[in-house]
Amino acid sequence: MIYFIADLLALGAINAIMAVGLNLQYGQAGILNFTYYTFVAIGAYVGAVTTMGHPPVPASEETFILQWSLPWPVALVLAGVVAGVLGLFMVLVVIRRLRSDYLAIVTVSLGFIVWDLITNYVPLFNGANGLFNIPYILNGATASETTYTMEVFGVAMVVLAACIWVVRSIFRSPYGRVLRAIREDEVVAASFGKSTTSSRVWAFVLGCVMAGLAGALLVFYVNAWNPQGFLAEESFILMAAIVIGGPGNYWGAVLGTFVFVEVLSEVERYLPNFGNGALVGAGRAVLIGIVLIAVVRFRPDGLIPERWLHWYRSPLRGGPGGEAGSQPQGGRRGRLGMPRLGQRGES
């Protein structure tokens, strides 16, 4: 039971890092990236091949590049850097010419290209068989499963805290405001002299770095990785978690993953299988769809809307930039009682 909870927490923290990164891309910068999990996979592979060393010959027939045995913190950073660089490359190719929905289509196809490349080019990351025996970090080799899980949870929480600190700083800063402005209306942002392209590029790259970090942590935790681990579906689940948690709100992303990804991945074991085990997975997908539709219908801004962050910043709370004592007349009631975005009347 303790292991079960620890496992949930560790995976939850790792997924939350991904969600925070994707939320920076989608929620803040408005870049619809449907292949986010590809960058998680890249981080995972880099984390693996830079710590595994040479495979034990001849017991293993694994073939992969690098075969380094770096200390895990270095591998972790490297995973983030590589994912970030590949993200930069991808975004520079597509972002200048494409706008939201077309960009989304391109991200999907790029994800498939990477998936096919890794699956079919065996010398790179051992193809479809994937990598096994990825070393434990810390004292994982000797500690009990539960202890190791708790340790990974600890490390993941540190990384998560760092990521949240970064996105929180960005959210509150003029840069974050420029990102939101671009998300709302790129023409307006440009008409006020804001660098629309470079702002979005850096938000995208930072999000990919977080994906890489999460991927490396995931692979240190599960000790194996193959192309079945990053099917396109994973990116959609993360996206759904953000939409449910509250796009634009980093706490929403965290809540979305812990509540949604975690609960729904565990709910599988309670779903009826109708005499066919394969239906359980399908049942989960249906459930995700239903929850998503319900949230979009009844709470279009997500469980914790982005505006709650503005509320924390408002002068009422004496947040940064607010002057104490100058209370807005609209006050709290006005903000919470505002019309829902999905239904606001255009006059």
Partner 1 sequence: MLQINDVEFSYGGSQAVAGCTFDVPDRKVTGLIGPNGAGKSTLMEMIAGGLSPSSGRIVFDGTEIQGLGRIRVARLGIIRTFQTPRELTRLPVMENLVFAAPRQIGEGPLQSVFGRRRWAAQERELRHKAESLLEWVGLTRLREEPAGSLSGGQRRLLEIARAMMAEPKLLLLDEPSAGVFPAVRKLIAQRIREMVDQGITVLVVAHNMAFLSDVADDVVVMAQGKVLRRGSLSEVRADESVVAAYLGGGHVGGTS
Measured in whole angstroms, how far is the alpha carbon of residue 221 from the centre of its chain?
A: 17
Asked if residue 202 binds partner 1 (CB under 8 A), the reply is: yes
325 binds partner 1 (CB under 8 A): no
Report the Cα 66 to chain-centroid distance in Å.
26
Burial class from Cβ neighbours inside 10 Å (0-12, 13-18, 19+) for residue 271 reads: middle
Q: Name which of 67 and 173 has its Cβ closer to partner 1.
A: 173
Q: Does 327 bind partner 1 (CB under 8 A)?
A: no
12 vs 80, which CB is nearer to partner 1? 80
The Cα 305–Cα 180 span in angstroms is 14
Region from 150-158, 199-207, 218-226, 238-246 binding partner 1, contact rule CB under 8 A: 199-207
Q: Which two tokens stand for residue 87?
A: 């993200």
Judged by CB under 8 A, the chain residues 287 through 316 that form the site for partner 1 are: 306-307, 310-311, 314
CA distance 311 to 173: 15
Q: Which residue in 193, 272, 275, 325 binds partner 1 (CB under 8 A)?
A: 193
**Which pair of tokens denotes residue 262?**
């975690």
Residue 131 near residue 48 (C-beta atoms within 8 A): yes
Can residue 329 be called a binding residue for partner 1 (CB under 8 A)?
yes
Stated as kind and residue range, the H or E segment containing 212 is helix 196-222
Cα–Cα distance, 48 to 66 (Å, whole number):
10
Separation of alpha carbons 327 and 271, rounded Å: 51
CB 16 to partner 1: min, Å = 19
Question: Tell me, what DSSP letter sits at residue 257?
Answer: I
Query: C-alpha 118: how far from its chain's center?
Result: 21
Residues 156-185 that bind partner 1 (CB under 8 A): 166, 169-170, 173-178, 180-181, 184-185
**Per DSSP, what are the bridge partners of residue 131?**
225
Q: Does 328 bind partner 1 (CB under 8 A)?
A: yes
Task: Please identify which residue in 206, 218, 261, 292 interacts with partner 1, judged by CB under 8 A.
Answer: 206
Query: Is residue 194 at the binding interface for partner 1, with CB under 8 A as the rule?
Result: yes
Quick one: 180 or 284, whose CB is closer to partner 1? 180
* Closer to partner 1 by Cβ: residue 73 or 328: 328
Residues that bind partner 1 (CB under 8 A): 166, 169-170, 173-178, 180-181, 184-185, 187-196, 199, 202-203, 206, 306-307, 310-311, 314, 320-323, 326, 328-330, 334-335, 338-339, 341, 344, 347
